[in-house]
Structure 1
Amino acid sequence: MLRYLVTAIGHLVFSEVSQALRSTKMSDGEIVLLTWSDYVGFMRCRGVPLDQIESRMAYGLGWAVAGQAQTPFADLAPNPWGPMLEVRQVPVPNTKTRIDIWEDAPPFHFYLCDSKTNDGENWDCCTRGFYKNALAAFKAETGLDFLAAFEHEFMLLDDPISPAQSFTIETMRNVAKFTQDVTKALHQADVGLETVEPEFGVHQYEITSAPAVGIEAAERAIITREVIRECARRLGYRATFTPKVEPDGIGNGAHVHFSFLDGAGNNATYDPKQPHNASVVAQQFIAGVTRHMPAICALTSPSPVSYLRLGPHHWACGYASFGVQNREASIRICPSPDQDPKRAAKAFNLELRAPDATASPYLVLGALVMAGLQGIKENLPLPKPVDVDPADLTDVQRQELGIKPLPSSLAEALDLMDADPVVKSWMSPTMYESYVSVKRTEIAIAKDLSDAEICARYARVY
């Protein structure tokens, strides 16, 4: 009996040791990235070995705040911070993303982070904190939740196959392994993947996910883009979300679809008794966005290359205008084609068309929410809808409709933001001044470059 027990215990110990060794082997070399979105929409990061991640969940890792002044290139903008100040990049547990679909590469494993000061408070220059503050203000004023989803347009660079015609099966099947990997990976990421499709441009594709409530809407966008990039990397491509790959080429947008939910989960954007089926709160929100649209372009279309895409006749909008189904309006109503009243009400949504992926999704959604909230606070009336391209109207017609042009450059957008005290008030003085400094530095970098050179530089980093 004793001999049996000794043998059994020996087998048990051996089994536990073997299991531990197998576990160690599986995780050997796996790095977990702690990542955060900065002013230029980059996901900066630090990494820790997998076996260390639990010890980093409470306080994360330190980061010199001067890093927030980085441009998309190798330049650091003038900033107020210097070498001493530091924040903690603290992982948000429910943003854990681990993609493990490749035999020849370790899992892609990361957390999104909050930037916090050493006393545990949100850092006033944190882009995630900016959006959280906007959501809290919107909820406090309206009692509603904000629901949103991005469209992700991108192009595959370094594809050796000649491009097929727009929107065709061939365009999809030429990169069948890529689309298969993206589909598997985004399912693992649990971002509510809805469509994977070819687009109009050369080697251009679009991926969409289901809308999400609040902070998750931005995080789904970030996770989706990074997973697309990773799937492309593994196959020797580069996925670029830049607004323009070539000056005269097709652009990549990051349109935002959004609506509001009441406490019962109903679509509070919809009211069949109101004009265009838009509820009163939705009408006021549209009015606020339209009023502040020229200024918030500095946050939603925030790079020199953005203004090679943004403009009339590009389906990217060139004017601060409102429309129903009009893709040249900067904000539009997207009615559902569903004939069932309940499903039509649920699907009814609004779309903001100016944003692109050189902007942090946190800043895009935060600016959108705050602009719309201002319209609600002031009870602004719904603008007159436009059913043509505003560029085809005369100056007099645009004036009668209250339609103003959007900025034609990043410098103009920054000037318009500076002239809008409401928009400036959404940021702390430090955040506002440091953000503008980064963007002015980007302008200086691009100043002596041709449009083609600007496109090429941004295509390689976005």
Structure 2
Amino acid sequence: MLREELIFVGTCDIAGLVRGKGFPAAELPARRKTGIGWTHSNLMQTCFGPIFDTPFGTGGDLMIVPDPSAEVHVDFRDGSAPEHFFLGDICNIDGSPWECCVRNFLRRAVAALKRAGGLHLIAAFEQEFVYTGVEDLPGHAYSLSAFRRQGVFGEMLTGAIRAASAKPDSFLAEYGPRQYEVTVAPETALRAADQGVITREMARGAAFRLDNRAIFSPMPVADGAGNGVHIHFSLHEEEGAPATYDPHGPFGLSAAAIHFAAGVLHHMEAICAITAPSPASYLRLTPNRWAPTVANIESQDRGAALRVCPVFEAADGKQRAAQFNLEFRVCDAAASPYMALGALIFAGADGLARNLALPESSRPLPHSLGEALDVMAASETVEGWLGPTFFEAYLRHKRSELAFVAELAPDELCARYAEVY
């Protein structure tokens, strides 16, 4: 069989999907600088494909430039083409960052955190999905049976994650029918988001080679269990020392972590439009689904929006501080990891900059994407994070998606999103 290796360069856009272009591998040296051609309105592709609305029209040229630190080359050794792709930055044709680049949004959030408190953030993405290659048997949540019946998929996924230069942490059968969860080790913010994207794509790649699917949709079935993306994070001083834990603080939080958490809770309703950015997302954020319904912080409570995680077998305060982290649970895979983590960091940085205190009471989360978008649209602070062009584009993108599915019943809505994610 005559073959020539191809390489893909793309970005995980505001629809939470990796889009870009491929080229012959022999061209890589030249493409490292110029990448692949892109255009402004490509940002406005909805998760269903069509561009329903765009502020950019048909004009303009951009390029997606591969980041050498975000290269994936995984050979599944089954005769299929290797997964060889780069994640990259959307740049203007002079090489400067485009104002609507999702990776640049995250970089700017990291810079805001450094300005606010001289801190950086370490994060890890814990992602739930449905694997279609296993029979749905009732009563097997977290069971050895469900773990066994997925066959070699888990091993293929773990091997692919490691081959992609990430460190696998856990793989397990989850609560819902045919539901599994995968987690990788924590990394600095941009690398953590890269790994969040890569982990999803390795799950999809492994499932594809087994003639199955890994479905990351927020609600694959309207009356079933939802798929969440939980972002674990901790703050660190510039030289690397942990800065989240204080045994004498509320919930064991340091002063900086209190302000950070307070900022996240303060902006929670607005950033829901970024972290839970589909109509199906709000079918998950309802009572009795092990998902948050209010903007709150609690210790070791999986129904909280911000969960203070437990520390296991710490010999001393230093080990406890190194393990100590929070978990942001108002997120799913309809969100780009860059956008979700960026919004989380911007909100926390604002809390640090203003020395916000933890709220005395909790507020309900938005009940729909429309509600969340209205809160976001009214926030001058969120507009400042995104910039006016990106802010308008994001709102128009999500409102056009919302209008497209507005008449669908919950069952049909979930089916449409399960086809995409």
TM-score normalised to structure 2 length:
0.97
Corresponding residue of 2:330:
354
| CA distance in 2: counterparts of 1:129 and 1:149, whole angstroms | 19
Q: CA deviation at 1:237?
A: 0.7
Secondary structure at 2:64 match in 1? strand
**Does the 8 A contact of 1:288 with 1:374 survive in 2?**
yes
Q: CA deviation at 1:255?
A: 0.6
Residue 461 (structure 1) aligned with residue 409 (structure 2): no
| CA distance in 2: counterparts of 1:321 and 1:285, whole angstroms | 13
Corresponding residue of 1:181:
156
Secondary structure at 2:267 match in 1? helix
Corresponding residue of 2:277:
302
Partner deviation per Cα, 1:350-382 (whole Å, 9 max, x = no partner): 111100000000010110001111111111112
Query: Which of 250, 256, 281 matches 2:225?
Result: 250
Residue 427 (structure 1) aligned with residue 386 (structure 2): yes
Secondary structure at 1:35 match in 2? strand
Structure with a larger share of its residues in helix:
1
**Does the 8 A contact of 2:135 with 2:178 survive in 1?**
no
AA partner of residue 359 (structure 1): A
Corresponding residue of 2:26:
51
Corresponding residue of 1:394:
none
**Does the 8 A contact of 1:335 with 1:344 survive in 2?**
no
**Does the 8 A contact of 1:311 with 1:319 survive in 2?**
no
Query: Which of 131, 155, 159 matches 2:106?
Result: 131
Moved over 6 A (4+): none
Correspondences of 1:162-177 after superposition (within 5 Å): 162-163=136-137, 165-177=140-152
Secondary structure at 1:152 match in 2? strand
Query: Which of 146, 156, 161 matches 2:135?
Result: 161
Greater displacement, 259-268 / 178-187: 259-268
Q: CA deviation at 1:160?
A: 6.1
**Does the 8 A contact of 2:161 with 2:168 survive in 1?**
yes
| CA distance in 1: counterparts of 2:210 and 2:287, whole angstroms | 36
Q: CA deviation at 1:267?
A: 1.1
Secondary structure at 2:232 match in 1? strand
Corresponding residue of 1:75:
50
| CA distance in 1: counterparts of 2:324 and 2:400, whole angstroms | 41
Greater displacement, 135-144 / 224-233: 135-144
| CA distance in 2: counterparts of 1:339 and 1:70, whole angstroms | 47
Residue 289 (structure 1) aligned with residue 264 (structure 2): yes
Residue 121 (structure 1) aligned with residue 96 (structure 2): yes
Query: Which of 350, 367, 370 matches 1:374?
Result: 350
Corresponding residue of 1:365:
341
Greater displacement, 73-82 / 410-419: 73-82
AA partner of residue 429 (structure 1): P
| CA distance in 2: counterparts of 1:295 and 1:117, whole angstroms | 29
Correspondences of 1:395-406 after superposition (within 5 Å): 401-406=360-365
| CA distance in 1: counterparts of 2:299 and 2:86, whole angstroms | 38
Q: CA deviation at 1:83?
A: 1.9
Q: CA deviation at 1:162?
A: 4.1
Gapped runs of 5+ residues in structure 2? none
**Does the 8 A contact of 1:65 with 1:85 survive in 2?**
yes
Secondary structure at 1:81 match in 2? coil
**Does the 8 A contact of 2:71 with 2:85 survive in 1?**
yes
Q: CA deviation at 1:28?
A: 3.8
Secondary structure at 1:170 match in 2? helix
Greater displacement, 174-183 / 159-168: 159-168
| RMSD of aligned Cα (Å) | 1.4
| CA distance in 2: counterparts of 1:126 and 1:263, whole angstroms | 26
Q: CA deviation at 1:317?
A: 0.5
AA partner of residue 113 (structure 1): G
Residue 98 (structure 1) aligned with residue 57 (structure 2): no
**Does the 8 A contact of 1:95 with 1:111 survive in 2?**
yes
Corresponding residue of 2:251:
276
Corresponding residue of 1:389:
none
Corresponding residue of 1:213:
188
- Which protein is bigger by CA-based radius of gyration? 1
Identity of aligned residues (%): 41
Change in 2 beyond 3 A, CA 1:57/1:185: same
Q: CA deviation at 1:103?
A: 2.1
Partner deviation per Cα, 1:200-238 (whole Å, 9 max, x = no partner): 111110000111012101001001100110000010111
Gapped runs of 5+ residues in structure 1? 1-24, 384-400
Corresponding residue of 1:331:
306
**Does the 8 A contact of 2:129 with 2:181 survive in 1?**
yes
Corresponding residue of 2:87:
112
| CA distance in 2: counterparts of 1:418 and 1:228, whole angstroms | 34
Correspondences of 1:440-455 after superposition (within 5 Å): 440-455=399-414
Secondary structure at 2:334 match in 1? coil
AA partner of residue 326 (structure 2): L
Partner deviation per Cα, 1:312-345 (whole Å, 9 max, x = no partner): 3322111111111122221121130223122221
| CA distance in 1: counterparts of 2:54 and 2:331, whole angstroms | 26
Correspondences of 1:144-159 after superposition (within 5 Å): 144-157=119-132, 159=133
